[in-house]
Amino acid sequence: MLIDYHLHNHFSSDSESKTKKIAEKAVKLGINEICLTNHVETFPIGGGKESFSYEEASARFAKVKKDLEETQKEFTNLQIKFGIELEYVEEWMDEMNNFVNDTDFDFLIGSVHEVDGVNISNALLCDPLYSKTKEQYAYSKYFESMMKMVEWGNFSVVGHFDVFKKGGVRYYGPFEPEKYKNQIIPILELMRDKGIGIELNTSCIHRECKELFPHPTILKWCKEIGIEHYTLGSDGHKVGDIGQNFEQALQTLKNIGINTISTYSKRKPTKFQISEF
């Protein structure tokens, strides 16, 4: 049993063939289950502020779901799950609560991508913040937003827990989790109390910061604190990204003594022994 639970297909509502290509590639790699987790918000073509509305998201994700169901019919040896990557923006969260509760997702990733309106999850866009501020300011603000998102809590796992290091490594050097332990531990404790899991996001192992999200030290804290659920995701935006660096991520988990990965159906998690993968 092998899964990829963080995949983007930004054209999924309009293009069945692309979903089919993702599914074909997954089967080729021996992946048994994938979850499409497109962004809740929309990005204007040519730049500008992203936006979220209940109506737009409901209409778009209804199309995504139909596309996934159509693709599923062609694949008997691959489970295709209906997911989403949520974005924490304080003023959106009431409406997002309604949207999430009214849509029958299997799995939801909660992510923070912005600090002070700057996209810090993209190494090419983070400069306006990182060139002007100290690491302590940028990373602490990120964790403050993450804490608020976990307090909100209407999702399955936290995505790319320390994604800020992707571009941050160029400005501040390697990320040292110990410096933020007093912010990270309460977040993990609240995640445990709410049954929220954490994803192992492999998108940067071979580029930019060359590390897993989260840092192995944070995974150790997850185990000590008693986080129950771990998922595996490539954060693939291209078909070639699917399943990237999974062996290394699973090895890191095992080294820490975490032996299970979880899958989700209608938001209910099921654990699998990593040895079964």
Q: How far is the CB of 127 from Zn ion (least distance, A)?
A: 18
* Residue number, 162 or 235, with CB nearest to Zn ion: 235
Q: How far is the CB of 50 from Zn ion (least distance, A)?
A: 12
Distance CA 230, CA 209 (A): 22
- The footprint of Zn ion on this chain (CB under 5 A) covers a number of residues equal to 3
Residues belonging to the chain: 277
Give the distance from CA 68 to its chain's centroid: 19
CB atoms within 10 A of CB 48: 8
Distance CA 12, CA 65 (A): 9
Using the rule CB under 5 A, is 201 a contact of Zn ion?
no
Using the rule CB under 5 A, is 162 a contact of Zn ion?
no
* Residue number, 73 or 201, with CB nearest to Zn ion: 201
Q: How far is the CB of 108 from Zn ion (least distance, A)?
A: 12
Distance CA 77, CA 67 (A): 18
Residues 6+ apart with CB under 8 A from 28: none
Q: How far is the CB of 171 from Zn ion (least distance, A)?
A: 20
* Residue number, 150 or 256, with CB nearest to Zn ion: 150
Using the rule CB under 5 A, is 235 a contact of Zn ion?
yes
Degrees to nearest 5, angle at CA 140 with 6 and 193: 60
Distance CA 90, CA 56 (A): 19
Q: How far is the CB of 38 from Zn ion (least distance, A)?
A: 8
Q: Where are the alpha helices (DSSP H) in the chain?
A: 16-28, 54-74, 93-102, 127-130, 135-152, 165-172, 181-194, 216-225, 246-256
Burial tier of 32 (Cβ tally within 10 Å: 0-12, 13-18, 19+): middle
Q: How far is the CB of 12 from Zn ion (least distance, A)?
A: 13
Residues of span 92-121 touching Zn ion by CB under 5 A: 111
Q: Which residue has the tokens 């659920």?
A: 229
* Residue number, 6 or 229, with CB nearest to Zn ion: 6
Site string for Zn ion, 31-50 (x = CB under 5 A): --------------------
* Residue number, 19 or 111, with CB nearest to Zn ion: 111
The pair of structure tokens assigned to 98 is 């309604």
Q: How far is the CB of 201 from Zn ion (least distance, A)?
A: 8
Site string for Zn ion, 66-95 (x = CB under 5 A): -------------------x----------
Q: Which residues bind Zn ion (CB under 5 A)?
A: 85, 111, 235
